[in-house]
């Protein structure tokens, strides 16, 4: 019997790059376990775990969770699924996090979604929300019948602070400054695969073809 080869991947891309959609498709086709550092952090904070309490003390002060705390949280979780192939999302964000991950696990591939900032800015700033229901509109793809008004209730829509043009610009610049060294680190290790484009549906076939050469598509019998 042939031993199953474990495949460990990291997906990177700025907020609004389509990372969530691409991750969902990877999980669906290649049966990788998707692990999001943001989700994991929120769960630990809510459950008041030891690491969650420490992380919350930084979050409450508006500070980034330190490398050693987030690294401990992620590695703890990855060791629980030691016999599983996985896709890691939102970690590592710094070179020291990447080095700590490398010491613990062999990373096969780092998938980098390279979407122009102008495209992302257009996507994110086009998003409007109905606060009471959580209904999301997009002025480009799914606009409300009346601008800035919810279709069902007639109540005003809001733009999240995160989606305001000045905030989006700041987030994108912050992402680039923080993660460029991480991308360079993985490029030097020969595991970085960059997929460029402006539309997720056009980027996806290239990501799919790359992974299909390495893994079986579980949907193909």
Is the pLDDT reported for residue 221 higher than 60?
no
Percent of the chain residues past pLDDT 70, beyond the cut? 98
Is the pLDDT reported for residue 4 higher than 70?
no
- Residue 65's CB is within 10 A of a number of other CB atoms, namely 20
Q: Which CATH class is domain 8-212?
A: alpha beta
How far is it, in rounded angstroms, from Cα 200 to Cα 190? Answer: 24
**135 assigned to active site:** no
SS3 sequence of the chain: CCCCCCCEEEEECCCCCCHHHHHHHHHHHHCCEEEEHHHHHHHHHHCCCHHHHHHHHHHCCCCCCCHHHHHHHHHHHHHHCCCCCEEEECCCCCHHHHHHHHHHCCCCEEEEEECCHHHHHHHHHCEEEECCCCEEEECCCECCCCCCECCCCCCECECCHHHCHHHHHHHHHHHHHHHHHHHHHHHHHCCEEEEECCCHHHHHHHHHHHHHCCCCCCCCC
Tell me the domain boundaries of the chain. 8-212
Taking the model in full, what pTM does it have?
Answer: 0.85
**180 assigned to active site:** no
pLDDT in tens, 43-83: 999 999 999 999 999 988 888 889 999 999 999 999 999 89
**28 assigned to active site:** no
Is 200 among the annotated ligand-binding positions?
Answer: yes
**123 assigned to active site:** no
Residues 6 or more apart from 166 whose CB is under 8 A from it?
A: none
- Mean of pLDDT over the chain: 92
φ/ψ of 9, rounded to 5, equals: -130, 155
Is 180 among the annotated ligand-binding positions?
Answer: no
pLDDT in tens, 155-178: 999 998 888 888 989 989 989 998
- The pLDDT, as a whole number, for residue 140 is 81
Is 17 among the annotated ligand-binding positions?
Answer: yes
Percent of the chain residues past pLDDT 90, beyond the cut? 74
Is 38 among the annotated ligand-binding positions?
Answer: no
Catalytic residue among 28, 33, 80, 93: 93
**127 assigned to active site:** yes
């Amino acid at each position: 019997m042939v031993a199953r080869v474990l495949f460990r991947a990291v997906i990177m891309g700025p907020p609004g790059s389509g990372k969530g959609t691409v991750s969902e498709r990877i999980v669906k086709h290649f049966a990788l376990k998707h692990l999001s550092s943001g989700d994991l952090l929120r769960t630990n904070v809510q459950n008041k775990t030891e690491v969650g309490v420490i992380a919350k003390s930084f979050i409450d002060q508006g500070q980034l969770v330190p490398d050693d705390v987030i690294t401990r949280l992620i590695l703890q979780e990855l060791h629980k699924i030691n016999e599983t192939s996985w896709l890691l999302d939102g970690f590592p964000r710094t070179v020291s996090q990447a080095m700590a991950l490398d010491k613990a696990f062999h990373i096969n591939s780092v998938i980098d979604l390279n979407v122009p900032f102008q495209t992302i800015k257009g996507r994110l700033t086009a998003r409007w929300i109905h606060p009471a229901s959580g209904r999301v509109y997009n002025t480009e793809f799914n606009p409300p019948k009346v601008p800035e008004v919810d279709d069902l209730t007639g109540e005003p829509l809001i733009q999240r602070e995160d989606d305001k043009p000045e905030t989006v610009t700041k987030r994108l610049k912050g992402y680039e400054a923080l993660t460029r060294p991480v991308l360079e680190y993985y490029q030097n290790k020969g595991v970085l695969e960059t997929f460029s484009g402006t539309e997720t549906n056009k980027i996806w076939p290239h990501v799919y073809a790359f992974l299909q050469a390495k893994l079986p598509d579980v949907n193909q019998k």
